[in-house]
Amino acid sequence: MTIDRRHFLIASASAAALAALPSPVLAAKKAKSPVSVKNPAALAGIRQAVIGSFAVGFLTERIDRAKAGGGLMGGGFGGKSTARSYLAGLTDADFKDATEAAYAAFTDRLTAMGITLADRQGLLAAYGKQVKPLPNGEERTLITGRDDKAKARLFSPTALGDPVVLVEWLGIMTGGGFDFSFNMSVGYASANAKTYAKSSGLPVINALLLVDFADADSYGGWFTNSSSVKVKSSLAAFPDASQLTVFAPGGKIGSVVLKEPVAMGGDYGTFADTTGGTAKTLETVSNVIGFLGGVGTNKSRKYTMTADPARWREGVAGVSQEAFAKLTASLSA
């Protein structure tokens, strides 16, 4: 057998280079960070801070779609799959209790890190009448993917009043249409908080936690002849939306965004196919919408997660602790 000497030398050199690396370096190269950090300098040296906004969005409805382009056949040959999932079985009191637990997890975490929380009255005065908080529990539309959308109810703890939305959160959160008053308010919320941080010398810390109740795996694309959506129950902090934003006194904005879901295993209710109006447990009914051929064939299903309130609240508390442990890890006093 003849060996290409050039390829042999390259492979040998590569292997030698990898072998020369210490094992911690190799581990770091393989490890993927659960968060994305921007402007870490703005997150460092925080001894005292003001909480500007803390909001928990609870997904109550999500729409997951997959579409097949038909490959060489073209013309949408494989059809489109749509799954609509709903959260049920919870009252406003359940959402509020879960929000209070999440806020306690957040503030306890900051205290444990040596960060003292200052009074918010000066910041509220800086907000003035230009910043209009959303009513607690108001439902907003979320953009969760190219073709996927969701609805979430937004809550803030009693200590902070109604939730204040920042312009930094608009990448995922909308009003379901153009909302001039809302868009003006979020712009002022961020601008006025940054101004307050500069004038007071106190960093302003803001947190958004988005809690999901289901998980979907989609299959499809331009070159596929079929599409499918598989849905299952899941209690998790939603990635790319759950985030921490810090307005530093020097004018910089630091942020930490969750890049992978923080999920809690367990049974938090009943997840069922309710397409026909009658709940069918997923042990007997497949929760995969799929197509094998069928020109222009489209299909959709509805699923309902009926939560057990006590178990669900306990699960949200666990998700909150884990999520904020990751989101605050880059802060330092």
User: What is the pLDDT at residue 22?
Assistant: 54
User: What is the pLDDT at residue 2?
Assistant: 43
User: What is the pLDDT at residue 13?
Assistant: 42
Under DSSP, is residue 169 helix (H, G, I), strand (E, B) or coil?
helix
- 271-293 in b/e form (b: 16+ CB < 10 A) is bbbbbeeebeebeeeebebbbee
Nearest to 215 by CA among 229, 196, 226, 225: 229
- CB–CB of 263/273 below 8 Å? no
Rounded to whole angstroms, how far apart are CA atoms 28 and 114? 28
Nearest to 62 by CA among 286, 229, 240, 195: 229
Token pair 């331009």 is at which residue?
222
How many beta carbons lie within 10 A of that of residue 76, not counting itself? 17
User: What is the pLDDT at residue 57?
Assistant: 95
pTM for the model: 0.81
Rg (CA), the chain: 24
User: What is the pLDDT at residue 177?
Assistant: 52
Nearest to 289 by CA among 235, 217, 223, 221: 217
Rounded to whole angstroms, how far apart are CA atoms 184 and 271? 39
* DSSP, res 165: P
What residues in the chain have per-residue pLDDT under 70?
1-31, 67-79, 145-148, 174-178, 215-233, 277-297, 333
Token pair 């299903």 is at which residue?
301
N-to-C CA span, the chain: 63
